[in-house]
Structure 1
């Protein structure tokens, strides 16, 4: 039996990038995968919709449920999580992957963009986790996993893009709090962050373009690390801000070259918030 057979995983922002990679990794382990994102129809620049990923999930061996979700809408969040749990007969894992980024400081950033980052990053961890909690309490393998960094208070991580930093750190602080709050319910709560830049649309269109992507790794390294966390049957691993490569090394993996996005001619770039 595969490690996630009969387990249901709800992934926000699951139609592209890291979310899609996690969905497919879980599918290969036999999971029921809920792909929840706004991308109901094809985007002119970005590949993938909830429906195309659902088909990939089925081809990989999992059951799929594509759901249109805007994580800023509280009522929709609760309705979609309840719908998913009722469809599959429960909910075991929530992956808070949806994210928004704009690397600007306070002087230049529009308040509306800060609101967006706060709502999609920090606030969505709160609302999605709260909505999932009644179902997670009923699971024997309950996990909440948020894609957010370790708390590094070095001033350089605030100097140029403090607004984004505060929304990502808030995700991790909520993670630490929920790990203790939900411990008595047997729910593990962790954060996961990449050691190096990950080649995604956010990097291509918001940060550094195709040239920077060539210095990153494929989303599959984050998916494999997420799978390592989600497949653990006990709840001893909780309240941690984990790094993908470090976690995989603990699992005995030593060769990471196949995760490279580029041809290896350029050095890998460390991700934000890591010294």
Structure 2
């Protein structure tokens, strides 16, 4: 099928990490997105540590004559990277590449698809639907000092609780996070005293492995959590969510194309 030249390229923007598992996980997620939408061109760019860098990808796309790009932050909350780092990189690229129209998509969370991905990882770790009513869950985020991001994590914990888990507590891997939320290990110990909790599971609310996800895992192990879920990674729910955010950002591009046609 002949594809319209007006269809924007999807550029997935990841933070990057010295940990090779990070880039490998991002690439696996992008591969799954491509498999879900074979006609869509999907590129990956990193802010730091890994190649290709975001400006390099945008320069290559501009040199190929691409007109529109949807830049999608691979982030779960609107914190510093979504509000400062990524807009600055995209603004600088737009100034250098005036013929390339760059449309920044919203961050991934919150979304019911993320709740589905969290539950998938817990079930893959050994829990069954029948275990929910007696299992307390620690929703372990990397952490942030941004009040908006912290509020989102708290709200996701409440929404996860409504799906039937006995109790859910938010926790942060980073000790510098604001909001007064505990570290993973402290949240696990707190859940042990909650009414009706027979086992504690830790659900990492992070996309890819790295330093802070490893800290979450250590906290779960040191505090005796019975179940530890994997990172969200290349889950089918996350791949579908990327395409959802792409379509949301693409809508103004489609309207503009219809007007000019």
Same fold by TM-score greater than 0.5: no
Larger radius of gyration: 2
Higher relative CO (CA 8 A, sep ≥ 6), structure 1 or 2?
2
